[in-house]
Amino acid sequence: MRAHKPMRRSLLLIHPGALGDVLLALSAIRTIRAAFPTHECGLIAGEQVGRLLVACGEVDRLFPLEQGSLAGLLAGTESVASGLRSWLDQTDVVIGWMKDAEMSLAATLYALGAGRVIIRSPFDSGCTNLHQADRYLEIVASTVGEERTAGPLRLPEAILQAATASLAEAGVRKDHMLVAVHPGSGSLHKCCEPGWFVELVARLQALGAVPLLLAGPADTEQVQAVRRSCVVSTLVFEEQELISVAGLMAQVALYVGHDSGITHLAACLDLPTIALFGPTDPERWAPRGGHVEIVSGAPCLCNEWDRVQACTEKRCLRVPIERVIEGCLGRLRARAKSTSAAQFRSSLSCHA
């Protein structure tokens, strides 16, 4: 009789945050995995970002929030689905970046077989670091250390090929210099006026670039407002799954967008990124890397989110477009040097 192969020991990470928050935890996730190289890594998170991280090999298995994985744990041992229950029976370490004030979540995890449980919110006042990515790492440092693992997300070839086919179907040629532009964010209070993006699109088109407008689930109104006002027709990709958006973004030369999850995705893909910050603090929330440039308007004077929502002046979102165009030019010139887009290089030289 053949013996059954023993299951590998496992880890479980819990992150109920939105796209950008989860991507800010990527360095911490990689540090955890490096500390337990023989363990399988499970993740409780939103389905879209979770599927992306599984496809890129950052985690091994997803337990989607949308299927009640976390809700079951919070409800007690009897409410936990069998797949997650089996996973926890092999789990040596659980790390949850969230509140557990009454320790009920930790109690359920221990009862289901978890070896060690660390549950702490990155918004905890006891965290000593400022940047959110450092806070995620700080929470696990006592268990796995603080060594950071850098490097871009690596998309599967099938996703890249599908994106290439989608662009070709939309009429994009291989010699086009694409610039991804994301006029939305998780909140309209972090967004520049649509007219600002209309001018940006026109200026990019004048340079010979091909702007590609991206719309997330909450961005349709903002993106359509830009699209309607553009003099020259503009490519728009909306209602795409996150992993498809990532594939499209991997084809572009440059990305411009607000403080949003899509902007963090651009930075994680190692794209030259111009991030527009207004009421949120880039020292706390900005994506990192030499390929990222932060551009803001006047310093925000609203020290609470209620004041941000009530503010009508929006000084912090009056981002100087000339500075953004200058940043675009520099990055597009660098990209053009490594391509055969002679016509594009000629157009750029006219704006030197």
Report the distance separating Cα 180 and Cα 235, nearest Å: 10
pLDDT in tens, 84-100: 999 999 999 999 999 99
So where are the chain's domains? 10-144, 161-349
Give the CATH number of domain 161-349.
3.40.50.2000
Crossing angle, helix 132-144 and helix 26-35, to 10 degrees? 10
What is the mean predicted confidence (pLDDT) over 165-185?
93
> What b/e string do you get for 197-232 counting C-beta neighbours within 10 Å, with b at 16 or more?
bbbbbbbbbebbbbbbbbbbeebeebbbebbeebee
Report the distance separating Cα 225 and Cα 332, nearest Å: 26
Asked: is 10-144 a CATH 3.40.50.10800 domain? The reply is: no
pLDDT in tens, 295-308: 999 999 888 999 99
Residue partners of 212: CB distance under 8 A and separation at least 6: 178, 179, 180, 181, 234, 235, 236, 237, 248, 252
pLDDT in tens, 28-53: 999 999 999 999 999 999 999 999 99
Report the distance separating Cα 68 and Cα 199, nearest Å: 44
pLDDT in tens, 262-277: 999 999 999 999 999 9
Tell me if 213 sits within 8 A of 236, measured CB to CB. yes
Residue partners of 102: CB distance under 8 A and separation at least 6: none
